[in-house]
Amino acid sequence: MKLALTNATVFTAVDEEALTEATVVVDGERISWVGPAAEDPADAAAVVDCRGKTIIPGLVDAHAHLVYDGVTDPYTIELSRPLERAAIDAALNAERLLSLGFTSVRDVGTRGNIAVTIRDAVAAGKLLGPRIKASKQIISVWGGLGDLHPTHIFRREQYAAALTEIASGPWGVRDVVRQQVKDGVDWVKCEASGTGFNPLCPADRDTMSLEELKALCDEAGAKGRPVACHAESRDSIINAAKAGARTVEHAIFLDDDGIQALLDHDVAVCPTLGLYTAFAEKGLDFGIPREIVESHRRTHELHAAAIARAHDAGITIIAGSDSGLANFPQGGGLEEICTYVERVGMSPAKALLCATRHAARVIGHEEVGTLEAGKLADLLVLERNPLKDVRTITDPAALTAVMQGGRVAAGELPAPVVNAVASGAGVG
Ligand SMILES: [Zn+2]
C-alpha cells in the first residue's frame, strides 16, 4: 500500500538543504517519490499530514558493539558475564537502538559470533533491530588492545569467548581473517594501537605491525571484506591507511602526516568523540576507573581538534558511538552527532550527513542513508527540526516515529486519511 507523508520539512541527506512543505511517498518497503507537496503525485492510498514535523533518514551508527551493556572497564565486557548473557544483551540492545532511531548499524567487535547471529535474526524478521553489518572478534596481537587480561591468568584458548582474538604474524592474522569470513562477517575489525580503556596497552602504543596489517587487509580484501582498524596512536593511523583499511576508528593522535595518509588512501574516520568526552567529563560519576578517566582527560580536547582539522581537510567523517558503557549507554550515537556541531564546528546538516549518507555509503548499506525514490524507506519523523537545533535528536519526546523498510518500528505516525480516489474506493 502507498503511504504519503505530506507537508513536512524533509532533510533528504542528498545535499545539505531541507525541503519545506514536502511529501515523501512510501510504497511497500521503498520510497517511491520525494519532493515539494505541490508536485505530489497524489496517488497514495493513505495520507499522513506531517505539518510542523521534520523527516530525516534513519540514523546509522557506524561503530556499535551490541554486546556492550553497562561496561565500566575491560573486565565487565567479558569476565563478569557469560557468553549467553552477552547474546541476550545484544538482542535487547538491537531493539533499543532501533527504537531510538538507528535503522542501521555496523558492529565492530563482538564476543563469539554474536553480531552475525543477531544480524541474521533481524534480517529474517525474528528480532527487531537495525540492519546490521557485522564483524566478529577484534583481531589483536599479544600485548595489544585486545590482550585485556593479565598474562598470569590468560592464554590464547581463553580468548575464544572474548571480545578479541589474538593472532601473531602475517600468516596468523590471515588465518583468523579466513575463519571470520567463513563465519559470515561483513567487515573485519582489527587494532593497530592501544587504548585509554586498557591500562595494559595505552592509546599511544603501536601494536600490530605494518607487515601484519598489510597481510590482514590483503586477505580480507581478496575475500571482499573491508577492514575497520582501531588506531589511536600517531603511527598506527598512518600504517592502517597504508595497509588498506577502509575506516580508521578513533584517530586520537592524528597529525598532518596522518591526515595526508588518510587522504592519499581515501580512508574514512569514525572518531567516537562523544564517548571520549563522556569518559573525561562524567566517567568518575559512573564508576569508570580513575586511570581510564585520566587517560581520556589528557587527550579528548586534542582529539576533537584533530578531527576538526581532518574534516576541514576533506576527510569523510562517519558517526559511530562505541556506546554501551555505564557513562555512555547504547544510543550514544545521538550524542555523537551533537558533538560534531558543538566540538568540531560542523553545521547540523553536515553532522547529520555523517550519521546518514556518509556512514551508510562507507559501511556498505547503499540502499539507505538518503531519502530518494528507490531507496529503502528507513526514516524518522521528528516533532522539531534538528537543522535548527541539533539537540532535537537527543530528545525522546521529539521522536514521533521510526520507520524501517516502510513499517513503523517505533513510535506512532499521526492517523492517516484514506485517499478514496487512490484506494479505488470511489465516491458515493
Ligand atoms: Zn569500539
Cβ proximity of 139 and 179 under 8 Å = no
Percent of the chain with pLDDT over 90: 79
Q: What's the pLDDT score for residue 404?
A: 98
All 3 cell numbers of residue 426? 470511489
Query: What average pLDDT does the structure give for the chain?
Result: 94
CA gap 307, 270 in Å, rounded = 9
Centroid of ligand 1 to alpha carbon of 136 (angstroms): 12
Q: Is the pTM of the predicted complex or chain greater than 0.75?
A: yes
- pLDDT digits 0-9 by tens, 279-337: 888 888 988 889 888 888 888 899 999 999 999 999 999 999 999 999 999 999 999 99
CA gap 266, 375 in Å, rounded = 25
Centroid of ligand 1 to alpha carbon of 146 (angstroms): 11
Element at 340 (helix H, strand E): helix 333-342
Centroid of ligand 1 to alpha carbon of 109 (angstroms): 7
CA gap 109, 310 in Å, rounded = 25
Centroid of ligand 1 to alpha carbon of 411 (angstroms): 29
- pLDDT digits 0-9 by tens, 222-241: 999 999 999 999 999 999 99
CA gap 177, 200 in Å, rounded = 25
Q: What are the sequence ranges of the domains in the chain?
A: 2-57+370-423, 59-363
More confident residue, 427 or 169: 169
Centroid of ligand 1 to alpha carbon of 415 (angstroms): 40
CA gap 217, 229 in Å, rounded = 10
Any idea which residue has 566540538 for its cell?
343
Cβ proximity of 128 and 102 under 8 Å = no
All 3 cell numbers of residue 225? 571484506
Whether residue 157 has pLDDT greater than 70: no
Select from 3.40.140.10, 2.60.15.10, 2.30.40.10, 2.40.30.110 the CATH code of 2-57+370-423. Answer: 2.30.40.10
Half-sphere exposure at residue 308, Cβ-oriented, CA atoms within 13 angstroms: 15
Whether residue 421 has pLDDT greater than 70: no
Lowest mean pLDDT among 78-82, 129-133, 227-231, 263-267: 78-82
* CA 303 to chain CA centroid, nearest Å: 19
Centroid of ligand 1 to alpha carbon of 342 (angstroms): 22
- pLDDT digits 0-9 by tens, 375-396: 999 999 999 999 999 999 999 9
Q: What's the pLDDT score for residue 143?
A: 86
At residue 428 the predicted structure's pLDDT band, cuts being 50, 70 and 90, is very low
Centroid of ligand 1 to alpha carbon of 20 (angstroms): 38
265 torsion bin: left (phi>0), alpha (psi -120 to 50), beta (else): alpha
Q: What's the pLDDT score for residue 424?
A: 55
Whether residue 373 has pLDDT greater than 80: yes
Which CATH class name applies to 59-363?
A: alpha beta
Nearest to 299 by CA among 325, 272, 269: 272
Percent of the chain with pLDDT over 70: 96
Nearest to 380 by CA among 360, 408, 338, 359: 408
Centroid of ligand 1 to alpha carbon of 320 (angstroms): 9
At residue 427 the predicted structure's pLDDT band, cuts being 50, 70 and 90, is very low
CA gap 83, 167 in Å, rounded = 21
Question: In Å, what is the CA distance from 262 to each residue of 195, 238, 239?
Answer: 20, 7, 10
- Which residues, including other chains, have CB under 8 Å from residue 89's CB and lie 6 or more apart? 66, 67, 68, 69, 81
Centroid of ligand 1 to alpha carbon of 64 (angstroms): 7
All 3 cell numbers of residue 418? 484514506
Mean pLDDT within 248-255: 97
Mean pLDDT within 105-109: 98
Whether residue 406 has pLDDT greater than 50: yes
The CA-based dihedral angle spanning residues 334, 4, 366, 136, taken in that order and rounded to the nearest 10 degrees: 50
